[in-house]
């Protein structure tokens, strides 16, 4: 028998003789099947098995690094805010109404408000359908979330979305999509709770609470990763001064900032090997926000006799 006839054949291509072998399983492989390895070659089966057992790269705080790098959640949040703004224009009937900060039906349904003496709900005509929307103190707690996606005019929307784009992609990469989205929502909710607690009779709306939460979160993350925070401090200070001068919702902005700092503390002070505690910390923070909300509702009930 000749040497050519006795040569082994590729395990995937039985008609191809080869002297190459996989360094892991020792199966013969042809030149088309071989995959370069640090030492020698590997077969497709061993490479696939290695990928299945390989630990996926994680971000600095336990999130999926590759998924977070795409900034998908940031893009979805921006898209959601723009979509709601478009609906507000359609439901309000004109862009002029929005630009002059006149409440459209969409805002009446979702803007935060605790209670106005004599009123426990708002009656609006939305796309030809009459809807009665309760205020927060009368059970409309959904407003604390929906208000995060409503804006008073195009400038208000653009400002928040630009900052969300700048900070969101960085933080989503560091935290991963799930943790980033959770902190964003908790920060926005903290801003809503602060407004309900300190300014319950004032209409407010916007993603500013959540965006200010990203400032607080980035400060904590940068400190953990030993990055320079000087530029963030300057930008945050300028925004707070603008908030005071322009008469924006100081309670909502500061409440969101504090919410972001608290969430950042949960992330950065948790030991690296016990990252699952992050979710416990977020849950506790949510319970605290709920407790404050219900406490304020009770106080408003006693003050105004809400029905």
Q: Which residue has the tokens 């000749």?
A: 2
The residues near 64 (Cβ < 8 Å, ≥ 6 apart) are 56, 57, 58, 176, 177, 178
Could you give the CA distance from residue 194 to residue 188 in angstroms, rounded to a whole number? 10
Could you give the CA distance from residue 157 to residue 208 in angstroms, rounded to a whole number? 9
CA distances, 236 to each of 49, 60, 161, 249 (Å): 48, 24, 16, 15
Assess whether 151 carries a catalytic annotation.
Answer: no
- Asked if 167 and 218 count as a contact pair (C-beta separation under 8 A), the reply is yes
Closest CA to 257 of 207, 288, 217, 286: 217
Catalytic residue among 151, 156, 253, 278: 253
As given in the structure block, the two tokens for residue 79 are 């898209």
Catalytic residue among 151, 208, 249, 278: 208
End-to-end CA distance of the chain: 99
- Asked if 160 and 151 count as a contact pair (C-beta separation under 8 A), the reply is yes
The three-class DSSP label of residue 180 is helix
Q: Where are the alpha helices (DSSP H) in the chain?
A: 3-6, 44-53, 65-69, 72-92, 95-99, 105-110, 143-146, 154-175, 177-198, 208-224, 230-246, 250-268, 277-304
Assess whether 156 carries a catalytic annotation.
Answer: no
Could you give the CA distance from residue 275 to residue 266 in angstroms, rounded to a whole number? 10
Provide the annotated active-site residues. 208, 253
């Amino acid at each position: 028998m000749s040497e050519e006839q006795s040569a082994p054949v590729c395990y995937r291509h039985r008609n191809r003789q080869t002297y190459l072998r996989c360094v892991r399983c020792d199966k013969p492989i042809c030149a088309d099947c071989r995959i370069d390895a640090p030492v020698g070659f590997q077969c497709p089966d061993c490479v696939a098995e290695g990928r299945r057992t390989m630990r996926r790269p994680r971000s600095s705080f336990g999130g999926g690094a590759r998924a977070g790098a795409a900034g998908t959640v940031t893009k979805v949040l921006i898209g959601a805010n723009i979509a709601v703004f478009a609906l507000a224009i359609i439901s309000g009937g004109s862009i002029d109404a929005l630009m002059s900060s006149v409440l459209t039906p969409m805002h009446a349904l979702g803007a935060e408000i605790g209670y106005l003496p004599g009123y426990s709900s708002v009656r609006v005509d939305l796309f030809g359908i009459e809807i009665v929307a309760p205020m927060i103190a009368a059970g409309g707690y959904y407003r604390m979330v929906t208000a995060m996606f409503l804006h008073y005019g195009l400038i208000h929307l653009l400002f928040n979305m630009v900052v969300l784009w700048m900070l969101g992609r960085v933080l989503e990469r560091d935290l991963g999509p799930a943790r980033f989205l959770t902190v964003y929502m908790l920060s926005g909710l903290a801003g809503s709770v602060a407004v309900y607690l300190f300014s319950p009779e004032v209409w407010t709306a916007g993603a500013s609470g959540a965006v200010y939460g990203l400032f607080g979160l980035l400060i904590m993350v940068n400190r953990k990763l030993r990055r320079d925070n000087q530029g963030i401090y300057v930008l945050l200070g300028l925004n707070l001064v603008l908030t005071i001068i322009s008469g924006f919702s100081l309670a909502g902005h500061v409440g969101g900032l504090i919410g972001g700092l608290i969430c950042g503390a949960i992330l950065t002070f948790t030991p690296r090997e016990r990252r699952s505690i992050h979710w416990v910390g977020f849950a506790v923070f949510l319970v605290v926000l709920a407790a404050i909300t219900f406490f304020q509702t009770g106080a408003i009930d006693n003050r105004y006799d809400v029905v």
